[in-house]
């Protein structure tokens, strides 16, 4: 067999592998018509608390986020509202994240976008990950899209991030030798101790966790899962966390945004 023929066969085989992997990377384990929000796996008390417009514990952070949105800050003496208008104009924004930032080419989640705008445009001090201020503004922006379906894009440069996110979701990790899929794809509805396992959907974040007595981001929840399987936790803001988040948003495509959401 000639070198040219061998090369042609190898190239063709490589393209076939790429196609197979691409299809696999966009294959849904849970069908769209089977998706269930984490709220459906919560007890009646949690469901009632989320539905109560007055007692919902996330409302305190939401009020703070709305105030911060319109508060001038930094050397520019501008507020978020100065550029973007009233918070209601953010309707439809949060459902698109994580998304590729056109300037840096990086995958940004909503918190990354807020931090970037704060430093770059407001000329203000950065808000650290999981700070009250960052989560409050993130919640305010997200609440503007309450009820809208998740629809993060996986086209273009985002595709590679999606594929890595799925790989991480399917990979066994830590001393427990477990992958995310083992709990949230294969055993949702079954009980872990006293609580049923959910599908691990991300349509409620940032949300108020009763166990933690505070608002929490999706990244904090992912880090908690890494702790649960006794795996090495990536640093805050690591690209792997963004990739898993994108996969989760695509995996839960169509689920409505719940904000302020409450979980146990």
Catalytic residues: 225
Helical residues (DSSP H) of the chain, grouped into ranges = 3-25, 44-51, 59-69, 80-84, 110-120, 132-143, 158-170, 180-184, 218-228, 239-251
Q: 5: burial class by Cβ within 10 Å (0-12, 13-18, 19+)?
A: exposed
- How far apart CA 110 and CA 114 sit, in angstroms, is 6
Phi, psi (deg, nearest 5) at residue 263: -135, 160
Nearest CA to 80 out of 88, 71, 89, 91 is that of 71
Residue 238: C-alpha distances to residues 100, 117, 191 (Å): 15, 19, 31
């Amino acid at each position: 067999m000639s070198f040219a023929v061998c090369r042609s066969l190898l190239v063709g085989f490589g393209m076939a592998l790429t196609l197979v992997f691409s299809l696999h990377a966009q294959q849904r384990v849970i069908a769209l018509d089977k998706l269930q929000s984490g709220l459906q796996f919560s007890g009646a008390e949690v469901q009632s608390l989320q539905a109560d417009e007055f007692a919902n514990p996330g409302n305190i952070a939401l009020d703070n986020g709305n105030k911060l949105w319109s508060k001038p800050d930094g050397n520019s003496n501008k507020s978020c509202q100065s550029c973007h208008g009233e918070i209601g104009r953010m309707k439809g924004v949060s459902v698109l994240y994580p998304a590729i930032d056109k300037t840096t080419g990086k995958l940004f989640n909503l918190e990354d976008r807020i931090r970037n705008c704060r430093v770059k445009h407001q000329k203000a001090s950065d808000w650290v990950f999981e700070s009250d201020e960052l989560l409050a503004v993130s919640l305010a922006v997200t609440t503007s899209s309450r009820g809208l379906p998740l629809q993060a894009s996986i086209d273009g440069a985002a595709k590679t991030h999606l594929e890595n996110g799925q790989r991480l979701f399917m990979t066994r990790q830590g001393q427990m030798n477990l992958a995310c899929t083992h709990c949230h794809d294969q055993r949702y509805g079954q009980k872990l101790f006293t609580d049923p396992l959910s599908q691990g959907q991300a349509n409620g974040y940032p949300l108020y966790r009763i166990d933690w007595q505070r608002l929490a981001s999706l990244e904090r929840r992912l880090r908690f899962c890494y702790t649960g399987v006794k795996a090495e936790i990536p640093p805050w803001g690591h690209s792997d966390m963004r990739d898993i988040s994108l996969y989760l948003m695509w995996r839960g495509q169509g689920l409505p945004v719940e904000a302020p959401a409450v979980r146990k």
